[in-house]
Amino acid sequence: MKHNQATRRDFLSTTVSAGIAAGMANGGFFESPLHANETKKLGVALVGLGSLSTNQIAPGLLHSSHCKLAAIVTGTPAKESVWAAKYGIAKDHIYNYESFEKIASDDSIDIVYVVLPNSMHAEFTIRAAKAGKHVLCEKPMANTAEECREMIAACKKADRKLAIGYRCQYEPHHLYCMNLAKTKELGAIKHIEAGFGFKIGDPTQWRLKKKLAGGGALMDVGIYALQACRYLTGEEPVSVIAQETKTDAVKFAEVDESIAWMMKFPSGVVAHCTTTYSLNGINRFHATTENGYIRMDPAYSYNDNRLETARGTSRGETKLAQVDQFATEMDEFAKCILENKPSKVSGEEGLKDMLVVEAIYDSIKTGASVRVVA
């Protein structure tokens, strides 16, 4: 979806823009992914060649400055020749799920990117770590908090880095919003409304099967709204209360269709969030501040996200560069590996989300407010 509305008022030109420039000058949130003299490209093995790998991640690797596609792992033999021809992958760098452990002796692979159904994230993250590879795992990190802990432990034991695919945490508009919130340019945040949903199609797909997906809309896209509330406040929610709605008990027999939940944060900020698999057009957050607001709509798309801010009655749209979000997140992970620094989207970050998700599901079951326990 595209929004091409012109800026109505550039009221932040001397305040927010100055803050952005200062952040850039001090090596802040627009810092270059790697030092200019760093030329090594890390090899990435894609595990799972579904839609996301095909349409976003593999093309993103072509745009990456510091990563390259080195190998593929698939359970569908027919995909092997297609990918080999398209990306020039030699036969000895093509693996299946049974031969996966052979990647341990493949020196072309530095990073394993796990892009499988949620229930397989823990298994292949642990197997990759044991094979001596760093791991980038798609969100949600796993189906349970306990699986998240096992993944973190396995990577620590192997002395390998683990990051979760929270691409929005590297997207310029989101970084801008984080900086506004942190510096309180518009005053402290007082309330957040956030949501993400879409109308899901094929009723036979794995996302509608609890064994594979762990949950429905909340696990798939609601987690983006949850993340936004956490990184805008810079806090962890202390309690949640949630309610689920189903309009199609057959299609959504195993997973949630629509959920609305409220989170309370230590500072007093309250967030009202929604997620759904039943309609399009919910893709936003709106953070009300003491002096105005910070809003993105759309907020979580692969491109064309739109940012609007307000101070009093003055409003303005801030247009920043559109980036390949997957290339950017992979370059940032490469930086962490090459400079031996922790990722800001580490396994611990994924675990924090899953603890909130579990509290939301518990609240739906009990009908009561549930404390989020670390």
Positions marked catalytic: 139, 224
Residue with tokens 């990306």: 87
What b/e string do you get for 96-105 counting C-beta neighbours within 10 Å, with b at 16 or more?
eeeebeebee
Enter the tokens of residue 41.
Answer: 């490209």
Kind of pairing between the strands at 111-114 and 134-137: parallel
Enter the tokens of residue 326.
Answer: 């997957």
CA–CA gap between residue 115 and residue 127 (Å, rounded): 14
CA–CA gap between residue 71 and residue 94 (Å, rounded): 6
Q: Which amino acid is at 159?
A: D
In DSSP notation, 183-238 reads HTTT--EEEEEEEEE-----TTSGGG-HHHHSSSHIIIIIHHHHHHHHHHHTS--S
Spatial CB neighbours of 51, under 8 Å, sequence gap ≥ 6: none
**Order of strands across the sheet that contains 67-73:** 94-95, 67-73, 42-47, 111-114, 134-137, 162-164
In Å, how far from its chain's centre is CA 155? Answer: 19
